[in-house]
Amino acid sequence: MKALGALLLALATGLVHAHKPSDSYLTLHADGATLSGQWDIALRDLEFAIGLDANGDGAITWGELRARHADVAAYALARLTVKADDRPCRLAPAAHLVDEHSDGAYAVLRFEARCEARSYRALAIEYRLFFDLDPTHRGLLRIEHPGGTAAGVLGPDRPRFGLQLGAVSRLAQFLDYGREGVWHIWIGFDHVLFLLSLLLPAVLAASGRAWRPVAGFGPAFWDVFKVVTSFTVAHSITLSIAALGVVELPSRLVESAIALSVTLAALNNLWPLVYRRRWVVAFGFGLVHGFGFASVLADLGLPQDALLVALVGFNLGVEVGQLAIVSAFLPLAYALRATWFYRRVVFAGGSAAIVLLAGVWLVERALDLKLLTS
Amino acid sequence: MTRLRPLLALLLAGNVAAVAAAPYAPKDDAAVLERLPSRPGDPVAAELRALRAAVAAGPGDAAAAARLARAYFDLALAQGDARYVGYAEAALRPWRDSSGAPTEVLVVQGLLRQYRHDFEGALGLLARAAARDPGSVAARAWSAAIHMVRADYARARQECEALVPIASELLAAGCAAYVDATTGRAGAAYQRLAAELARHPEASPGLKLWVQTRLAEMAGRLGDAAGAERHFRAALGFGLEDNFLLAAYADFLLEHARAAEVLPLLKERARSDTLLLRLALAAKALELPEAPQHIRVLGERFAAAALRGERLHMGEEARYLLDLRGDARGALAVAAENWKSQREPRDAAVLLEAALAAREPQAAAPALEWLEASGLEHPRLRRVATELKALAR
């Protein structure tokens, strides 16, 4: 004890904290429902916490670290919570690397945080790594988000870090959902085929039980306008009431009804029952398609504080996608309307093919079978 | 408690690793990523294991927890590794509010507080420990050390006097000599302490190492370079690991244009920021190709500390800015801030030199006043002070 008492005097505070204390470097890229993260954790600290030097020779090799990758990820990720709008995200390791910092080698754990909310206004981080072993440990956090970069120092007294993504992300949110809407109409074959089935006859006029080319562009345009508008109004109504949770329908019923709508619309081209009032058909079945869009929106996750932004954004996205299809279709169909190719191959053949495909969908969806691999 | 065994040979092969630009996956399983400061087979590791086991066996056992925390703290001093301070804090966590903490815990808590530069809080804890256990050498000795850092020489002397009845003669004499040597009586203090050391060959190597280091510093300030060299050699001869001794000897070598000798002394010790600073200074003086690398790594460590929001080694940072980056104004700002909490000769030195380099004698006024009041014998500092005063006129 006396010897130690003497050494005390050797204390020269400036010289004592001669070495960098324990830090980890945590970076999160917050852009969308899945955040990607990188966590640099000193091998010295991991050694102290879980033991890496398997053969006890005082050196940690890549092989020794590699053998413990699963343990490193489990240990670290269990001590981190990421929440988007108060809902925890699931953390999963993505890659294991190493890096050198100024004070030695670090394990680099790349991971993903999968959040329920597709879009969110608030991110919260709760950090608990090593605090039980070393209360002077700090987590140096950096969050890169569309509105900029945020940084914080996390310690036992301040283990939480909250970030309001705020106004900047409102527009981003809107555009994000808009993009999803466009994307969905483009990859949603059933919606596209339904629309096409109703549009194919727009450049033709029903004459008895047969179709003839229309005389001018005007009538064709107005016909398309009526069909598209009523389809849009109808699916907007049901999309909204479903997204707001006013009405909920079983998705199997909705999907089957959509397939049925496609089948009937195409059949009507082959054996016309309805011509002038196709917009009524578009409206009626549009109501069904709206429920289909709503289930996609639900899968994306709706931000509770920005429901309207998401809803309007998604819906407008769907309309933009639709308009793109229509504006590509109409001039082409109009130019080709008098040809044998259009009337026989595109119109009759296309409709028949749609009937066939939609019929298969109908059976699949109604009976919960898998006939086609998509 | 036994003294920690020398670790020198087992230390990190701290060649300053090239800092990789991006994370990577090594190709070879045998690639060594990190060398640990101690191996399971060495005595320190064994001692720590035993202490940890004792704490695990009795979670409420204050004496065991204090011993473990103390061992970690000593390791932090020996190696210059702040991680061990964190481990010490964790060991004492059950007594965090300190109201019901036993004496031995209070002492170590005091040491940890002073480490965080909470000198007031540290002195409070140590005073409580000393009041409860008047025989606590550690509480008195550490209080004296903190008073010295704060340049409160009257109170430091009181603590040294309180050591006389409870501590060994050599320790009490060393304490008094330490104060005297800083307050204008270095010649007499040196003679007395050297004589006291000769009378106590039975003292522990740790205490003798400390006395030799202090004698070396005193001899150096008195202009006896050969004597200083002799004392440093004697201190190194104990084979104990001591970050402070290495830094002091490196400073001595640098001051006497013997930078080439610093390299073998510190080349395995770049892990310690203080020693990396000296290594960089030596490399720069010798114009070695690795100098820019050392300087860059040192800069990164200060940047990392700033990221944490901590500036606990401002004295070193000021020295780095002044001597390695040529940033006199930046160095002056940091040195002036440092002087507010730390007032040892080396803190004064960097403040005076930075003020001179920045040609702002006014900024050095507090250190100049201190130099006058303390009466410290330090030829180099006196020279700088004279130049500053000439500049002010």
Least confident of B7-16, B87-96, B322-331: B7-16
Euclidean distance between CA atoms A40 and B23, whole angstroms: 9
pLDDT tens-digit map of B288-315: 999 999 999 999 888 888 888 777 789 9
pLDDT tens-place string over residues B353-366: 999 999 999 999 99
Residue with tokens 């629309």: A195
- Quick one: pLDDT at residue A325? 87
- Which long-range contacts (C-beta less than 8 Å, at least 24 apart) are formed by B163-166? B163/B137, B166/B134, B166/B135, B166/B136, B166/B137, B166/B140
Is some CB atom of chain A closer than 8 A to the CB atom of B316?
yes
Rounded to an integer, the average pLDDT of B11-39 is 66
**What's the token pair of residue B245?**
């001794």
For residue B316, give how far its alpha carbon lies from the nearest alpha carbon of chain A (Å). Answer: 7
From chain A, the residues in CB contact with B31 under 8 A are 61-62
Judged by CB atoms closer than 8 Å, whether chains meet at B87 and A133 is answered as yes
Summarised one tens digit per residue, pLDDT across range A161-184 is: 988 876 545 777 788 788 888 888
Please say if the pLDDT value at position B80 is more than 80: no
Q: Which ipTM did the prediction report?
A: 0.73
* Partner residue opposite A61 with nearest CB, options B23, B33, B39: B33
The two structure tokens encoding residue B362 = 């006014």
Residue to mutate among A1, A7, A39, A141, with most B CBs inside 10 A, is A7
Asked if the C-beta of B39 comes within 8 angstroms of chain A's C-beta atoms, the answer is yes
Cβ-nearest to A11 among B22, B145, B312: B145
Q: What angle do CA A189, A191, A194 make, to 5 degrees?
A: 105
Residue B7 has pLDDT above 60, yes or no: no
Q: Alpha helix locations (H) across chain A?
A: 2-9, 13-16, 43-50, 62-67, 69-77, 166-187, 189-199, 217-243, 251-270, 278-300, 307-336, 340, 350-367
pLDDT digits (tens, 9 = 90+) for A204-244: 877 666 677 887 888 888 888 888 889 989 988 998 888 88
- What digits encode the pLDDT tens for the residues B181-212? 999 999 999 999 999 999 999 999 989 999 99
Tell if the CB–CB gap between B74 and A17 is shorter than 8 Å. no
Q: At residue B144, does pLDDT exceed 80?
A: yes
**Alpha carbons A105 and A98: distance in angstroms, whole number:** 7
Q: What is the DSSP letter of A89?
A: P
Rounded to whole angstroms, how far apart are CA atoms B376 and B217? 12
Q: Closest CB to A3: pick one of B117, B207, B338.
A: B207
Q: Is the pLDDT of residue A323 over 70?
A: yes
3 state SS of A213: strand
| Amino acid type, B294 | H
Distance from CA of A130 to the nearest CA of B (A): 10
B239 CB burial (10 A radius; 0-12, 13-18, 19+): exposed
Amino acid at A133: L
Name the A residues in 80-139 with CB < 8 Å from any B CB.
96-105, 108, 110, 132-138
What does DSSP assign to residue A11?
-
| Phi, psi (rounded to 5 degrees) for A191 | -70, -45
Whether the model pTM is above 0.80 = no
B82 touching A, CB under 8 A?
yes
**Strands A23-29 and A138-145, how do they pair?**
parallel
Distance CA B262, CA B275 (A): 10
Provide the pLDDT for residue A372: 65
Q: Work out the pLDDT band at B108, boundaries 50, 70, 90.
A: very high
> Are the CB atoms for A341 and A350 separated by under 8 Å?
no
Strand, coil or helix: A34: strand
Query: Could you say which of A3, A4, A102 has the minimum Cβ distance to residue B304?
Result: A102
**B63 or B99, greater pLDDT:** B63
CA B343 to chain CA centroid, Å, is: 13
Residues 144-163 of A with CB under 8 A from B: 153
The yes-or-no verdict on residue B250 having pLDDT over 80 is yes
What phi-psi label fits residue A127: left (phi over 0), alpha (psi between -120 and 50 degrees) or beta? beta
Per-residue pLDDT at B381 exceeds 60: yes
- Mean pLDDT, residues A295-312: 73
Q: Is the pLDDT of residue B158 over 80?
A: yes
pLDDT, position A302: 66
Q: What is the mean pLDDT of chain A?
A: 83
- Cα separation, A107 vs A265, whole angstroms: 60
C-alpha–C-alpha distance, residues A132 and A127, integer Å: 12
Query: Taking CB atoms and an 8 Å limit, are B145 and A65 in contact across chains?
Result: no
Nearest residue of chain A to residue B71 (CA atoms): A4
Structure token digits, residue B90: 């964790």
Query: Is 50 exceeded by the pLDDT of residue A277?
Result: yes
Whether pLDDT at B13 is above 60: no
Cα A232 to Cα A246: distance, rounded to the nearest angstrom:
19
Q: What 3 state SS string does chain B have?
A: CCCCCCCHHHCCCCCCCCCCCCCECCCCCCCEEEECCCCCCCHHHHHHHHHHHHHHHCCCCHHHHHHHHHHHHHHHHHHCCCHHHHHHHHHCHHHCCCCCCCHHHHHHHHHHHHHCCCHHHHHHHHHHHHHHCCCCHHHHHHHHHHHHHCCCHHHHHHHHHHHCCCCCHHHHHHHHHHHHHHCCCHHHHHHHHHHHHHHCCCCCHHHHHHHHHHHHHHHHHCCCHHHHHHHHHHHHCCCCCCHHHHHHHHHHHHHCCCHHHHHHHHCCCCCCHHHHHHHHHHHHHCCCCCHHHHHHHHHHHHHHHHHHCCCCCHHHHHHHHHHHCCCHHHHHHHHHHHHHHCCCHHHHHHHHHHHHHCCCHHHHHHHHHHHHHHCCCCHHHHHHHHHHHHHHC
Give mean pLDDT, residues B44-54: 86
Asked if residue B229 has pLDDT above 50, the reply is: yes
The C-alpha of B98 sits at a distance from chain A's nearest C-alpha, in angstroms, of 16
pLDDT for residue B39: 62
Q: Minimum mean pLDDT among A37-41, A120-124, B279-283, B330-334: which range?
A: A120-124
Q: How does strand A80-84 pair with strand A160-164?
A: unpaired
User: Domain map of chain A by residue range?
Assistant: 20-164, 169-367
Considering chain A, what percentage of its residues have pLDDT values greater than 90?
24
Q: What are B110-123's pLDDT values in tens digits?
A: 999 888 888 999 99
Selecting from A1, A13, A61 the residue whose C-beta is nearest the C-beta of B29 gives A61
Express each pLDDT in B94-105 by its tens digit: 888 767 788 889
- The token pair that represents B359 in the structure block: 């040609």
> How close does chain A come to B91, measured CA to CA in Å?
8
Instruction: Please report the pLDDT score of residue B82 as a whole number.
Output: 82
Q: State the pLDDT at residue A167.
A: 53
Say what the pLDDT of residue A294 is: 83
CA distance B206 to chain A (A): 6
- Rounded to a whole number of angstroms, the distance from the CA of B260 to the nearest CA of chain A is 22
**With an 8 Å Cβ cutoff, is A20 touching chain B?**
yes
Region of poorest pLDDT, from A240-244, B174-178, B188-192, B279-283? A240-244
Q: Among all chains, which residue has been given the structure tokens 């925390």? A: B69
| Residue of B35, B83, B301, B344 to mutate when probing chain A, most A C-beta within 10 A | B83
In the structure encoding, which two tokens stand for residue A278, read together?
A: 């196709």
Angle at B152 between CA B147 and CA B154, to 5 degrees: 105
Q: How far apart are CA B11 and CA A64, in angstroms?
A: 20
Contact status of B10 with chain A (Cβ, < 8 Å):
yes
